Amino acid sequence: MNFETLDVEQAGAVLSVAISAPPMNLLGPALVRDLVALIQQAEADDTVQVLVFSSADPDYFISHVDILQIPEYRQATVNLTGGEPSIGLLFRYLSNSRLVSIAQIAGRLRGAGSEFALACDMRFAAAGRAIFAQPEIGFGLVPGAGGMQHLTRLMGRGRALEVILSGNDFDSELAEQYGWVNRALPADEIGGFVISLAHRIAAFPAGARRQIKERINAIALAPTEDFRRDSNAFGAAASNAESQRLSKVALSRGFQTRDWEMDLAQELPGLAQP
Amino acid sequence: MNFETLDVEQAGAVLSVAISAPPMNLLGPALVRDLVALIQQAEADDTVQVLVFSSADPDYFISHVDILQIPEYRQATVNLTGGEPSIGLLFRYLSNSRLVSIAQIAGRLRGAGSEFALACDMRFAAAGRAIFAQPEIGFGLVPGAGGMQHLTRLMGRGRALEVILSGNDFDSELAEQYGWVNRALPADEIGGFVISLAHRIAAFPAGARRQIKERINAIALAPTEDFRRDSNAFGAAASNAESQRLSKVALSRGFQTRDWEMDLAQELPGLAQP
Amino acid sequence: MNFETLDVEQAGAVLSVAISAPPMNLLGPALVRDLVALIQQAEADDTVQVLVFSSADPDYFISHVDILQIPEYRQATVNLTGGEPSIGLLFRYLSNSRLVSIAQIAGRLRGAGSEFALACDMRFAAAGRAIFAQPEIGFGLVPGAGGMQHLTRLMGRGRALEVILSGNDFDSELAEQYGWVNRALPADEIGGFVISLAHRIAAFPAGARRQIKERINAIALAPTEDFRRDSNAFGAAASNAESQRLSKVALSRGFQTRDWEMDLAQELPGLAQP
């Protein structure tokens, strides 16, 4: 498997996928196109059972969507969403796949980056090395790719409101405490832990794995209609005047550049100020 | 804004509200009346976005309802409940408000005191300084203002049953672990943390804030009908013979006095004993 | 009360029940028959309010079902399940009972052992002394007695998938962090804590206790139909060729013997390998 933005290695039934979309792992058309192709090819290949996602960039897991190419990256999802341009529906497709997906997280994952990890079946964070946020509110937007659905169910009303209304950065320890990830693990142990877990799961009978995912998703994965509604709300808000103004201000200050976003949480409340 | 039982200060878009109903912040008619008026006035004032609730009494945040004035404090809610006398419905109104509410907790909050905090959008407790309980069962009652709805969703079946069937006191550390609060924070940092969070949230666009609350409430806030059923169950139980006898015993021993309630959890199982 | 596999002592309104089915507390026909009789007799006895379950074996709380006697132990449930042979429905009956049930856990509890504890109203684990697992996937099976229903609601989608897809062993600390138990308590304190909690709860009015259980179960206990579906899925999978082959391999290596199962998690992935 060869991709522009993904480095893929297969060992047994486990595909290790390193996200590599310099300069900062933005979720734009190229990365979405590659994720769609990866999922399609892996699902069609009976030798593949488990996907492990990590990042080739120590500072960014997936930074967030490329706000300059919203129609383009959305359009890139349609092969897996029944024709609807929506990364929320793409991510929900992954959650429903027969493939088991594990996110091994270091670096920043904000907005749709966090939502991609939430769509994976499990999430492990490198202690002290991962930063989580849903910063949409800073742009007058709402999380549109499942963040509200997953976070509310994982951490409850109060913590989900804190996370999403504040747009703040959360470190791996707090992400573990709030249930954003399964666990935070020491940075020098997480790789071994995750690959060993992946091979363990891949060794078990596929039929039971599929049944277990189906039954747990029936309880805890929000209905398609809720993903669609959030996705549409994001799309509608992104084209209103206030959001467009805030996006322009952000871009003019350094948004979508590597250095400026290192401390995005600090910059966020200032966008609305003259 | 001037109230009998609330000290209110506005700074920017944030209203800081200190509950001050000596001698022990009982939730009686005066405090309910003031909370209703505060919410109405704040909602009508476009300059207000976030409410921060704290207590002027270091030992009591809100002790619980005044059991000598149940019809009176219930009646005081009707302006915000469509005419139904119910603090459960009043608290649910607050959860649904466009205003963001944050509880900054020190002291005891039992029964409806806990339920008021649970109705707020977020809750932070001063480590080592807050005590939580739902002691209704000691009086043959059930939590009637949303406690069963919120706690079961926040902490799951087993922990909610422990809390509500035992009527025990829980300290801030356990409240954090069980998800009763977002976090326990050092007592000398909580004030700065909460006010900074409040101003951060208030700086973001109001439309997105409203949409986020709506979507998260659709997932995690129980339906009105469930609040009404719990509220009615509390009302019905409060007028049965056993509960009235237990209330009399409690009042004769010191219930609704400041000192006796400091260690209420210890006294609770004894009420039913001769 | 006299049972083959249960040591029962009554003190006030609290029944302490030690599970004692040597050599390893397998959930077979005898233990199921005794649990059914115990619940029936305790429910019929107005002097009993709370059940505390512990194990007479320090290494095994309940190991799991006896896979050599699936039809027999299932049949032993019918007096409490409306005639349907299903331990999932039996366990759900316990969750719905007017009796309050508390699991005081030390030793291993895997598969239906974990599911029995999950059916109890509360669970406390001896720190460093308890080991939890849902190892069904190793046999091509799914948890059939409520494990998927309870764990998904208690710990959320990601952690439940990790637990159930990995079949791994989890210690008491992680079980506490994931919400599998209410709390892990020091081994020398747990007995005193649980018995004191049991007597506290038993002292409160029975009517309120019943109402509280009803209301919390309405929110957090899965519908009968979901228990039945999982129970049937387990039954169907147990009779397919792959599961029967894996069971034979496991039995030939030492499954259902005390020593071999001490470290079951290590052995599990190897079953499918030649």
Provide ipTM, 2 decimals.
0.98
For A257, which DSSP code? S
pLDDT value, residue C273:
79
Instruction: Write phi, then psi, for B22 (nearest 5 degrees).
Output: -55, 155
CATH topology of domain C6-272: 2-enoyl-CoA Hydratase; Chain A, domain 1 (3.90.226)
Contact check, Cβ <8 Å, C136/A208? yes
pLDDT value, residue A136:
98
For A267, the closest chain B residue by CA position comes to B200
Per-residue pLDDT averaged across B249-266, rounded?
97
Contact check, Cβ <8 Å, C159/A150? no
Contact check, Cβ <8 Å, A152/B219? yes
The shortest CB-CB distance from C272 to any of A204, A213, A221 is to A204
Q: Which residues of B touch A138 (CB under 8 A)?
A: 204
Residue A158 DSSP SS3: helix
Per-residue pLDDT averaged across A10-14, rounded?
98
Instruction: Show the DSSP H helices in chain A as ranges.
Output: 29-44, 70-75, 87-96, 112-119, 147-166, 172-178, 190-202, 206-220, 224-238, 241-253, 264-267
Confidence class for position A103, pLDDT limits 50, 70, 90? very high
The shortest CB-CB distance from A201 to any of C148, C158, C165 is to C165
Instruction: Write phi, then psi, for B65 (nearest 5 degrees).
Output: -70, 155
- Kindly report the nearest CA distance between residue A220 and chain C, in angstroms: 6
Contact check, Cβ <8 Å, C201/B272? no
Contact check, Cβ <8 Å, A220/C269? no
User: Quick count: other Cβ atoms within 10 Å of Cβ A17?
Assistant: 23
pLDDT value, residue B273:
79
Q: Would you say residue B98 has pLDDT above 80?
A: yes
Q: How far apart are the first and last CA of chain B?
A: 48
Q: Which residues of A touch B220 (CB under 8 A)?
A: 152, 156-157, 160
Helix and strand totals (H; E) in chain C: 11, 8
Please say whether the beta carbons of B242 and A271 come within 8 A: no
Contact check, Cβ <8 Å, C162/A154? no
pLDDT value, residue B1:
81
Beta bridge partners of C53: C17, C103
**Best mutation target, B139, B154, B155, B162, to test chain C (most C CBs within 10 A):** B162
For C230, the closest chain A residue by CA position comes to A215
Question: Which tokens go with C122?
Answer: 């509360």
Q: Which residues of C touch A183 (CB under 8 A)?
A: 177
Rounded to the nearest integer, the mean pLDDT of chain A is 97
pLDDT tens digits in sequence order for chain C, 274 residues long: 899 999 999 999 999 999 999 999 999 999 999 999 999 999 999 999 999 999 999 999 999 999 999 999 999 999 999 999 999 999 999 999 999 999 999 999 999 999 999 999 999 999 999 999 999 999 999 999 999 999 999 999 999 999 999 999 999 999 999 999 999 999 999 999 999 999 999 999 999 999 999 999 999 999 999 999 999 999 999 999 999 999 999 999 999 999 999 999 999 999 987 6
Contact check, Cβ <8 Å, B161/C197? no
Q: Which residues of A touch C230 (CB under 8 A)?
A: 215
Contact check, Cβ <8 Å, C200/B168? yes
For C138, the closest chain A residue by CA position comes to A204
User: Domain ranges in chain A?
Assistant: 6-186+208-269
Contact check, Cβ <8 Å, B269/C200? yes
Q: Which residues of A touch B14 (CB under 8 A)?
A: none
**Best mutation target, A151, A154, A200, A204, to test chain C (most C CBs within 10 A):** A204
Confidence class for position B272, pLDDT limits 50, 70, 90? confident
Give partners of B (≥3 CB pairs < 8 A): A, C
Residue A171 DSSP SS3: strand
Please work out, in degrees rounded to the nearest 5, the angle formed at the alpha carbon of residue A72 by the alpha carbons of A69 and A76. Answer: 135
- Kindly report the nearest CA distance between residue B197 and chain A, in angstroms: 7
Instruction: Write phi, then psi, for C88 (nearest 5 degrees).
Output: -60, -45
The shortest CB-CB distance from A159 to any of B100, B182, B205 is to B182
Please say whether the beta carbons of C143 and C111 come within 8 A: yes
DSSP assignment string, chain B: ---SSEEEEEETTEEEEEE--TTTT-B-HHHHHHHHHHHHHHHH-TT--EEEEEESSSSEEE--B-TT-HHHHHHTTGGGTTT---HHHHHHHHHHSSSEEEEEEEEEEETHHHHHHHHSSEEEEEEEEEEEE--GGGGT----SSHHHHHHHHHHHHHHHHHHHH---EEHHHHHHHTSSSEEE-TTTHHHHHHHHHHHHHTS-HHHHHHHHHHHHHHHSPPHHHHHHHHHHHHHHHTSHHHHHHHHHHHHHTTTSTTGGGGHHHHGGGGG--
For A152, the closest chain C residue by CA position comes to C156
- Kindly report the nearest CA distance between residue B112 and chain A, in angstroms: 18
Instruction: Give burial (CB, 10 Å; 0-12/13-18/19+) of C274.
Output: exposed
Q: Which residues of B touch A142 (CB under 8 A)?
A: 208, 211-212, 215
Residues on C contacting B at a C-beta cutoff of 8 Å:
100, 120-123, 150, 153-154, 179, 181-183, 197, 199-201, 203-205, 207-209, 211-213, 215-217, 219-221
What is the bridge-based pairing of β-strands A6-11 and A14-19? antiparallel
Architecture category of domain A6-186+208-269 in CATH: Alpha-Beta Complex (3.90)
Contact check, Cβ <8 Å, A203/C273? yes
Contact check, Cβ <8 Å, A233/B211? yes
Q: Which residues of B touch A245 (CB under 8 A)?
A: none
Per-residue pLDDT averaged across A196-205, rounded?
97
The shortest CB-CB distance from C138 to any of A120, A121, A204 is to A204
pLDDT, one tens digit per residue, over A125-155 is 999 999 999 999 999 999 999 999 999 999 9
- How far is B26 from B5, CA to CA, in rounded Å? 10
Please say whether the beta carbons of C3 and C40 come within 8 A: no
Contact check, Cβ <8 Å, C208/B273? no
pLDDT, one tens digit per residue, over B3-31 is 999 999 999 999 999 999 999 999 999 99
- How far is A101 from A49, CA to CA, in rounded Å? 9
B6-188+202-269 placed in CATH 3.90.226.10: yes
Residue from B134, B103, C159 nearest A102 by CA: C159
Please work out, in degrees rounded to the nearest 5, the angle formed at the alpha carbon of residue C109 by the alpha carbons of C219 and C257. Answer: 150
Residue C7: its H or E element: strand C6-11
User: Quick count: other Cβ atoms within 10 Å of Cβ A173?
Assistant: 13
Rounded to the nearest integer, the mean pLDDT of chain B is 97
